[in-house]
Amino acid sequence: MSKRNLRARRNAKQLKKAVKKEVKKEYTPIAKLDAESMEVIESFESVDQAIEKLGLNQPNLVRALKNKTKYKGFYWDFD
């Protein structure tokens, strides 16, 4: 392969990476529910936001959302 082709290939890879970074993720809002009354206590724009704000474990929170089970004393649901 010529140097020109190698440079073009490298530039194409860099462009793909840059485009991926620019693509916005779509987030699904979630809600923290009271375990007894099932009333919404707090809402979050995304799982990531809840994890950051409350210091939760991502796999466990996602599992609770999918299985509709308690996690950290609360139920969690997609808003």
User: Is residue 15 one of the residues assigned to a domain?
Assistant: no
**pLDDT at residue 7, rounded to an integer:** 73
Question: Do 73 and 55 touch, CB atoms closer than 8 A?
Answer: no
Instruction: Please indicate, yes or no, if residue 54 is contained in any of the structural domains.
Output: yes
Cα distances (Å, whole numbers) of residue 24 to 7, 20, 27, 28: 28, 8, 9, 13
Q: What is the pLDDT of residues 5-52, one digit of tens each?
A: 667 677 777 767 765 655 556 789 999 999 999 999 999 999 999 999
Domain that holds residue 36: 30-78
Res 62 pLDDT > 80: yes
Determine the pLDDT at residue 56: 95
| The overall pTM is greater than 0.75 | no
Tell me how many domains the chain contains. 1
Please state the rounded mean pLDDT for residues 49-73.
Answer: 96
C-alpha span between 41 and 74 (Å, rounded): 9
> Distance (Å, rounded) from C-alpha 71 to C-alpha 47?
13
Residue 3 placed within a domain: no
In this prediction, residue 13 carries a pLDDT of: 73
**Tokens encoding 23:** 């693509």
Determine, yes or no, domain membership for 45: yes
